[in-house]
Amino acid sequence: MSEGQRQEGGGWPLWEVFVRSRRGLSHTHAGSLHAPDAEMALRNARDLYTRRAEGVSIWVVPSAAVTASSPDEKDPFFEPAADKAYRHPTFYAIPEGVKHL
């Protein structure tokens, strides 16, 4: 197959991949990939993101279905949260042995 025929993702839709690394944790965004449909996206995700035994469960979501906040809206979205220390649980001591808090 010549170089010219190898287009990015073969014109296939883009999928976002979420992997749960072990029981008790939530699915975490691992990356994205191209696939012709959801079933193939799952299989490609298995090959790309879990081949070193990183996961027990995979979700794939069409990238087009994700609505993202825009960088232009960064200030109105996030800045008001920064100067209100009382919103953060910083005044508690975290018990020993509690991970993932």
Partner 1 sequence: MNAALALGDDALVLAQRLGEWAGNAPVLEEDVALTNIALDLLGQARTLLSLTGDEDELAFRREAHEFRNVQLVEQPNGDFADTIARQLYFSVYQELLYGALAEGGSELAPLAGKAVKEVAYHRDHAEQWTLRLGDGTEESHRRMQRALGTLWRFTGELFEPLEGLAVELPALHAPWRERIAGVLGRATLEIPEGADRTAWSAGAGRQGVHTEPFGRMLAEMQYLHRAHPGASW
Which residue stretch of 8-16, 17-25, 70-78, 85-93 sits at the interface with partner 1 (rule: CB under 8 A)?
8-16
Name every residue whose Cβ is closer than 8 Å to that of residue 8 and which is 6 or more positions away in sequence: 34
Q: Is 30 in the site for partner 1 (CB under 8 A)?
A: no
Among 18, 44, 55, 60, binds partner 1 (CB under 8 A): 44
Among 25, 31, 39, 66, binds partner 1 (CB under 8 A): 39
Q: Is 80 in the site for partner 1 (CB under 8 A)?
A: no
Name every residue whose Cβ is closer than 8 Å to that of residue 40 and which is 6 or more positions away in sequence: none
Q: Is 93 in the site for partner 1 (CB under 8 A)?
A: no
Alpha carbon of 57 to those of 21, 62, 65, 74: distances in Å? Answer: 7, 17, 20, 32
